[in-house]
Structure 1
Amino acid sequence: MNDLDLAIELADLADAISHPHFRAQDFAVETKPDLTPVTECDRAVEKAIMDRLTEVRPDDSVLGEEFGAHGQSSRRWIIDPIDGTKNFVRGVPVWATLISLYDGDQPLLGVVSAPALGRRWWAVTGQGAYATELGSPAERIAVSSVDSLADASLSYSSLSGWKELGILDEFLDLCDSLWRTRGYGDFYSYMLLAEGAVDLACEPELALYDMGALVPIVLEAGGTFTNTAGLPGPFGGNALASNSRLHEAALDRLGRVAPAEVS
């Protein structure tokens, strides 16, 4: 089984666990030490994925949101079992399982599966980005050709975090320079970007497992993915993604400021 086929199998496995519980809303919710919610479904999905990887890729390492890092291999699967847990808890269908594979800091593939939306996206480095309505043929996707901030649409998650980063005024200035802003949120902002439905997406505070699967999809669709200082990839503590044409202008508006922990 090649890596993409395995990643798709893992997404199917995750959907089979999470989606029935979402529809029934029959799960327990706890608060983690960082005050974010976690459900028994988050843990069940991640455990099922880790167990399967142990069977078929025992030499690969794994990083998951709920159970942390396992293994030392440079080939690392990065898992967010339910991105958008707050939406999941409240019955909002904008949530997904994020699965990616990296070799060192190089993305090999990413899969984003959102069963409540009936959508799935994936990309393998060098092979393009694709999306499908679940059960339908895949279609190749690409970012937009918008080349002016004044004509651009931005998707973001919320205003919280921009103040802590010290660039709330800069973020609002960026918003004021655009044609349109909407808070579609979480993974969905970046998938809409990859499909060309929006032109920019950004968030001030993110972990590696939040971004790992998004990066190869955005890049293979023709986009650019950095942090707010311009550091490429998912390792910079936050994200600014674009259709590439708008990236430098958006970085300038945000002041090219990185999270404090990023040198």
Structure 2
Amino acid sequence: MDRDLMVKVGAAKVDGMTDSADLALALRLADQADEIARRHFRAPDLAAERKGDGSPVTEADREIERVLRASIRAEHPGDAFVGEEFGAQGHSRRRWIIDAIDGTASFVMGDPEWSTLIALEDHGDVRLGMVSAPALGRRWWATPGNGAWTGPCPSDPSAPPSRLTLTPRGNAQDAAIGIWPPPSRLSATDRDAAARLAAGTATVLPALDWSTADHPTPPPSKPSTGSGTCHGALLVATGILDAFLLLGAGPWDIAAVIPIVEEAGGTFSDLSGQRRTDTGAALFARPDIHQQLLTMARATD
């Protein structure tokens, strides 16, 4: 990776609790994750197991998390860490939040829309977000006050990073929204909220009956499938969708994309309107419709 260019673009003006050294470390972590993931991706012996929640996990998920934990511990032994596969470690105002492979099901199937999510939280505020999608050849990153950026992975001097910028357009009734997971995997409360959003907006992906818990046939694809991005929130940051609602999520699913969406000009909250990553719900949206969507999701008959 041409780390110098990415650090210069992404953290030239960083101040406060996160600096360019943290971004440089995140880039090295992404490089490590990319190398491991490429080695396992589409390998003939790649196998997945089912975790207690029914989601798949591979040795690539575990190896990436182990290696990134060790790298962070070597450079910042006092930092805390939380990952999807091995849980939390340590107590500190600084906490790294890692999803080794977001989109393991796609990874196992040989589809390219998966990524490693890397975030750094300081005093409960996410100060750095990095998404690396080596099979797509793309990365996205942001630090507060320095914009959201995307660039090729590995970097290409002839194609420098470009800044992500959202512009207001229309209202919630005209919006295109992505929702995940499908209604059959949601609680009754979350399904009701999703159904209200689906009914109140112009377009919803996937196009399902969100009011029923029936299993759709065939199983639906994530909103990001075929879009060139690997996480629904990035569809908002890049202007492909107006909003994205993720339900039943862990902090590792959410944290890395918060600064990317916000620095692109978007907004983030849970369904109560709080900027939290521990409630299981995450709504990313253009700022002009965020409150409209929250009101819609919370409406009762």
Structure 2 length as normaliser, TM-score?
0.80
The 5-angstrom pairing of residues 15-30 of structure 1 reads 15-30=34-49
Is 1:133 the counterpart of 2:152 in the alignment? yes
Which residue number corresponds to residue 172 of structure 1? 195
Deviations 1:128-181 (A, max 9, x none): 110112223111102242231232111223323674142434422322332322
Q: 3-state DSSP class of the match of 1:24?
A: coil
Bigger radius of gyration: 2
More off after superposition, 205-214 vs 159-168: 159-168
The 1:81–1:216 alpha-carbon spacing in structure 2 relative to 1, beyond 3 Å, is same
Contact 1:99 1:112 in 2 (8 A): yes
Contact 2:48 2:58 in 1 (8 A): yes
Give the Å deviation of 1:185: 4.6
Amino acid at match of 1:218: V
Give the Å deviation of 1:23: 3.0
Unaligned runs of 5+ in 2: 1-19, 207-222
Contact 1:162 1:204 in 2 (8 A): no
The 1:158–1:17 alpha-carbon spacing in structure 2 relative to 1, beyond 3 Å, is same
Q: 3-state DSSP class of the match of 1:52?
A: helix
Alpha-carbon distance between aligned partners in 2 of 1:153 and 1:20, rounded to the nearest angstrom: 36
Which residue number corresponds to residue 282 of structure 2? 239
The 1:119–1:256 alpha-carbon spacing in structure 2 relative to 1, beyond 3 Å, is farther
The 1:256–1:91 alpha-carbon spacing in structure 2 relative to 1, beyond 3 Å, is farther
Contact 1:25 1:91 in 2 (8 A): no
The 5-angstrom pairing of residues 75-224 of structure 1 reads 75-134=94-153, 135-136=155-156, 137-160=160-183, 163-183=186-206, 184-185=223-224, 188-224=231-267
Which residue number corresponds to residue 33 of structure 2? 14
Amino acid at match of 2:152: E
The 1:25–1:234 alpha-carbon spacing in structure 2 relative to 1, beyond 3 Å, is farther
The 1:16–1:241 alpha-carbon spacing in structure 2 relative to 1, beyond 3 Å, is same
Q: 3-state DSSP class of the match of 2:91?
A: coil
Which residue number corresponds to residue 230 of structure 1? 273
Deviations 1:16-62 (A, max 9, x none): 10023113253231122222211000001111111111111111111
The 1:122–1:29 alpha-carbon spacing in structure 2 relative to 1, beyond 3 Å, is same
Contact 2:42 2:108 in 1 (8 A): no
Contact 2:233 2:244 in 1 (8 A): yes
Which residue number corresponds to residue 8 of structure 2? none
Alpha-carbon distance between aligned partners in 1 of 2:287 and 2:184, rounded to the nearest angstrom: 24
Q: 3-state DSSP class of the match of 1:3?
A: helix
Alpha-carbon distance between aligned partners in 1 of 2:298 and 2:196, rounded to the nearest angstrom: 11
Structure 1 length as normaliser, TM-score?
0.91
Which residue number corresponds to residue 44 of structure 1? 63
